[in-house]
Amino acid sequence: MTVVQILLLAVPGVFMSTEKTIGQTRLLLSKGDITQVECEAIANAANSRLAGGGGVDGAIHRAGGPEIMAECKKIGHCPTGEAVITTAGRLRAQKVIHTVGPIYKGRPEDARLLTNCYTNSLELAAKHNLKTVAFPSISTGVYGYPLDQAAPVALKAVKKAVLNHPDSFTEIRFVLFGAESYEAYVRALQIL
Ligand code: AR6
């Protein structure tokens, strides 16, 4: 290996793989806005009242229109770690899966609840025969989960769910908002 190659490998994100295949499922990391993604389902980082809010939740409701909130109101509540499904309104996706991440407190419970978000979201997607699913980085905004801890938890949970549902998904994509988030997931993917 040349000195130039060694230096490039040391720069995060350069020459590091941003996808992996698990069985028949492509696990992909991309940067961007999840409201613009063309997957069959997109996940939302919601709150337990399904009341809308800031961050990705606000962006999804703004882009998808009032139909999504109307269904959220009918459902009413979603406990932390659980997931519910609604229409995607005007979005390109067919469905939005709303899941409620834990508010980070630095306890082992956090990782268990964050794992449940991905597991339960993918259970719901499989049940509805939604084969391509996009996730934001749940809990790592307003809910304060450190990215370097959340990324490996998220990827491990998705890997396990894919192995449990070998025929259900063709593509699972993380749509990461900003370089810091993207790079944390790229690092976590290397050791998955
Ligand atoms: N596309 C993809 N990711 C995004 C987008 C977007 N358009 N916008 C933000 N992110 P957050 P949480 C990233 O705060 O931490 C809401 O008020 C963002 O950079 O949206 O689970 C809810 O109603 C971050 O990396 O969700 C809840 O009350 C990630 O999405 C609470 O926030 C998650 O940040 C949930 O907090």
Q: Looking at domain 24-190, which CATH architecture does it have?
A: 3-Layer(aba) Sandwich (3.40)
CA distance 182 to 101: 19
What are the helix (H) ranges across the chain? 3-10, 55-64, 66-75, 108-127, 147-164, 179-190
Q: Which residue's CA is the nearest one to ligand 1's atom 27?
A: 47
Measured CA distances, 37 to 123, 129, 136, 149 (Å) = 20, 18, 11, 25
pLDDT in tens, the chain (192 residues): 555 555 444 454 445 669 999 999 999 999 999 999 999 999 999 999 999 999 999 999 999 999 999 999 999 999 999 999 999 999 999 999 999 999 999 999 999 999 999 999 999 999 999 999 999 999 999 999 999 999 999 999 999 999 999 999 999 999 999 999 999 999 999 999
* 65: helix, strand or coil: coil
Helices and strands (H and E) in the chain: how many: 6, 7
- Ligand 1 pocket: which of 78, 177, 181, 182 to mutate (most atoms <8 Å of CB)? 177
- pTM, full prediction: 0.93
Cβ 12 vs Cβ 187: under 8 Å: yes
Domain limits, the chain: 24-190
Q: Is 57 part of the annotated catalytic residue set?
A: yes
Test site for ligand 1: of 42, 56, 139, most ligand atoms within 8 A of the Cβ: 56
Cα 6 to averaged position of ligand 1 atoms, centre (Å):
35
